[in-house]
Each structure stands twice: as structure tokens, then as C-alpha cells.
Amino acid sequence: MQTNFTLAQLADPDVAVANDILRSCVHCGFCTATCPTYVTLGDELDSPRGRIYQIKDMLEGDKPASGELVKHIDRCLSCLSCMTTCPSGVHYMHLVDIARDRIHKSFKRPALERVLRWLLALLIPRPNLFRVALAGAWIGRPLGKILPGAWGALFRMAPSSIPKPSPVDIPQVHAAEGTRRGRVALMTGCAQKALQPTINEATVRLLTRHGIEVVVAEGGGCCGALVHHMGDTDTSHGQAARNIRAWAREMSGDGLDAVIINASGCGTTVKDYGFMFREDDALKEDAAKVSAITKDITEYLSELGLRAPTQETGQRVAYHSACSLQHGQKVTAPPKELLRAAGFEVVEAAEGHLCCGSAGTYNLLQPEIATKLRDRKVANIERTKPTLIAAGNIGCITQIASGTGIPVVHTVELLDWATGGPKPAGV
């Protein structure tokens, strides 16, 4: 794709990155076939290629974001299926992030929408505050049938019960069982701690059982993905910087073999810290180191080797590959191989490349499209007649569970159960 940026524009590091990305696009349109919003809506402007043209027009013209562009960028799930499909290696993730930053800085949203986004950015990254909000949303669940759009979705998505905080998530060192084989930092996350703390508990049990010392670092917290995808780059970088500093202290102390992520949406962002801080002289070196050693829990276990199962399981498990794992991180085989090694029968549904509609806060901000995608995903999964559904991302787990009666559990909970841990709730 030909671009026409001025030298003054290219002096902006983000514009220079966008220029390189735009020039790698060859207009082939392969991305349209695997884009969930294009498949659902059939609008070229809601395809990656269509969004690329709109972003190019905004950046080249050095214009504020228009309402039309905002509508189509907001509909993008950042599932990154287009990046898996693209034969030219167009880095759409970085391009749409740059566009969202420009939107955040140049476009004034309607008042109610601003309030909603402010609430989500305030509450979800803070687990204690998020628990209080979930309790309030549960009490107000009847409003979900009355309120339209995103406000109604807030109440409809409220869980029926809210778990207590887990002691596992407090900054500490979890000792390895037997001979220590490694030392890792666990990112405990934010929403996951409030919605399903059993995932971190299973992760710690599984790793320590395999001889791995697990550090929950002081000062760590939200990865920054949620507000990053809203375009609030300053806030997301602030959240990311706290993690980088926390893990850098551990790396310079007793050392770390890896930073372990068990929420794949976070993993895609943490692995991108090196790029995010490329212009930050104070943090770019540590950010690059953190990104280099970050691994999804299934990546790390695959390299480590799963111990022989101690419990007979045998359930037929439909494995749902989260977009952030299969497209964002290119981790596809390890979760399925580990589940099979643990004794599960693994099946995969049709259209596994398509998003379930969760996508961070997407199911709250774009509930109509998200529900269509969820129903399509659930229908494909149910055709495989599974006993259980496994996924590696809390957002996917919550989204899919809202549309089916089949238990949906985290992959790590099944691996923990098979190798000596407790049976996951609902299984």
C-alpha cells in the first residue's frame, strides 16, 4: 500500500510504525474471510482491510477521528485472526492500537459512553473494588432486562456468586515441592482474581508440584490491556510499568526463569511490553527482558514436561483456543497436547479461529455483536457433544459459560486435577 506521510509526520514514532505497517498491506483481502465482524456484519468497513484504509486516511490527513471511523474501530475485537491469515505479515495489532490512541485523544464520545468506559477502566483493574461492583450489579440484575445496550449488558453479565479473595494472590513466595527445578513469577491479574480465584490456586499447585518456586511479586497488578484497548495509552503504560519494575526486582534478585500468565489476554499484552516501551529510555531494557521470558502457563508446562496423571479423568473436552492465545501468541498445540497427556479426550469445534465475543470489555461495550458471536461459538462447540469445555482465558470462560449449560473450566484446573489437585467446581 502506498503512503504519503510527510517527514514531519514520520518524526512521530507511532506514525513511523504505522507507515511501515500500512506499506506491508497488499490489499489482498484474505483477512476478510476470517474477521468475525466482517463474517457477522458483511460490511467492508468492518473488516481489517476496511479499517486499515480508514486508519490510513486519518493518520495521513493528520485529522481528528470521525464518528464513522470510531464506530468501525470500536467494533474491532482485536482478536488478531487477521494477523494469522495475512500472507504479508501486516501487524494489525500495533496499527489498531495506534488508531485507538488517536481516537482517545481526538474524539469526544457521548456523555453516557464516557461514563461507562470510565467505570470499566476504574473498576475492573482493581479486584477489591470490582468485587463490590459485582455485588451491586448482581443486586440490580433485573435492570439487565430493562436497560438497553451496554448498560443492560453490565447487569446481565453479573455473576450469581462472588468468590472470596484467595490468600494465594497475596505477594509471597510459594515454595517448590521436592527439588527446585525453576523459579517463576506469576501474574495474578485483576478481573480473574475477583471472578475465579481458583485459577491462580490451581496454577500455583500445579507449578509447585512440578518443582517450581512461584513468586507473586510485590507491586504487580493489572497488565494494562483493558485500558490499552480503550486507547488510554498513558494509563495502560502506567499499569504496565508497575509490573515491569516488580518483575525486574525479582530478576535482579534471585532471578526468574519465566513470567507465567494464565489469562491469555494478559499474555499477549505482556509479551508486547518490549514494543510498548521501545521509546522509554528508563524502562525499555527491563521491558524487553520481561517480554522475552513471558510464557503462557501451557507453554511453560509443555517445555517442563507434565508429570504422569494420578487421577483417571477421561472426560470428552472441547478445547476452545482463545484468540489472544492462538492469534496473539501463536500458542496452539501445547494446551491440547497437555490435556491429552493428562488423560482427557480432546475435541475441537468448527470455526475455532472465530472469536467468542468476549475480547476484554467487548461483550459489555458491543453486546449485540458479542452475543451473536457467542451463540455461534456455543453452537459449534455443542455439536461436538463434550462433557466439558476448556479455555485458557477468563474472558472466554465467562462469555461461553453465559450461553451454555456445559461446564467451562480453565485448562490449568484440569491439568491440576489430573495430577493430584482437587476436582474443579461444576465438573
What is the 3-state secondary structure of 251-302?
HHCCCCCEEEECCHHHHHHHCCHHHHCCCCCCCHHHHHHHHHHEEEHHHHHH
Whether the CB-CB separation of 215 and 293 falls below 8 Å is answered with: no
Residue for grid cell 490512541: 101
3-state SS, the chain, equals CCCCCCHHHHCCHHHHHHHHHHHHCCCCCHHHHHCHHHHHHCCHHHCHHHHHHHHHHHHHCCCCCCHHHHHHHHCCCCCCHHHHHCCCCCCHHHHHHHHHHHHHHHCCCCHHHHHHHHHHHHHCCCHHHHHHHHHHHHHCHHHHHCCCHHHHHHHHCCCCCCCCCCHHHCCEEECCCCCCCEEEEECCCCHHHHHCCHHHHHHHHHHHHCCEEEEECCCCCCCCHHHHCCCCHHHHHHHHHHHHHHHHHHHHCCCCCEEEECCHHHHHHHCCHHHHCCCCCCCHHHHHHHHHHEEEHHHHHHHHCCCCCCCCCCCEEEEECCHHHHHHCCCCHHHHHHHHHCCCEEECCCCCCCCCCCCCCHHHHCHHHHHHHHHHHHHHHHCCCCCEEEECCHHHHHHHHCCCCCCEEEHHHHHHHHCCCCCCCCC
Mean pLDDT over the full length of the chain: 95
Range of weakest confidence among 166-170, 172-176, 310-314? 310-314
> Tens digit of pLDDT for each residue in 12-57?
999 999 999 999 999 999 999 999 999 999 999 999 999 999 999 9
Report, as an integer, the average pLDDT of 333-359. Answer: 97
Is the predicted pLDDT of residue 269 greater than 90, yes or no? Answer: yes
- Taking only the tens place, the pLDDT of each residue in 306-317 is 999 998 888 999
CA-based nearest residue to 233, from 186, 241, 79: 241
Residue 123 or residue 147, greater confidence: 123
| pTM given for the model | 0.94
Q: Within a 13 Å sphere around the CA of 4, how many CA atoms are in the beta-carbon half?
A: 6
Cβ neighbours, 10 Å, residue 380 = 17
In this prediction, residue 53 carries a pLDDT of: 97
Q: What is the pLDDT of residue 85?
A: 96
Biggest alpha carbon–alpha carbon distance for the chain: 65
In this structure, the number of other CB atoms found within 10 A of the CB of residue 26 comes to: 12
Q: Could you read off the pLDDT of 49-78 as tens digits, one per residue?
A: 999 999 999 999 999 999 999 999 999 999
Q: Report CA dihedral (319, 325, 329, 335) to the nearest 10 degrees.
A: -30
Mean pLDDT, residues 167-194 taken together: 96
Confidence of residue 332 (pLDDT cuts 50, 70, 90): very high
The domains of the chain, with CATH numbers, are: 7-106 (1.10.1060.10), 111-156 (no CATH), 167-302 (3.40.50), 308-418 (3.40.50.1860)
Give the model's pLDDT for residue 422.
95
Confidence of residue 119 (pLDDT cuts 50, 70, 90): very high
Cα separation, 18 vs 38, whole angstroms: 23
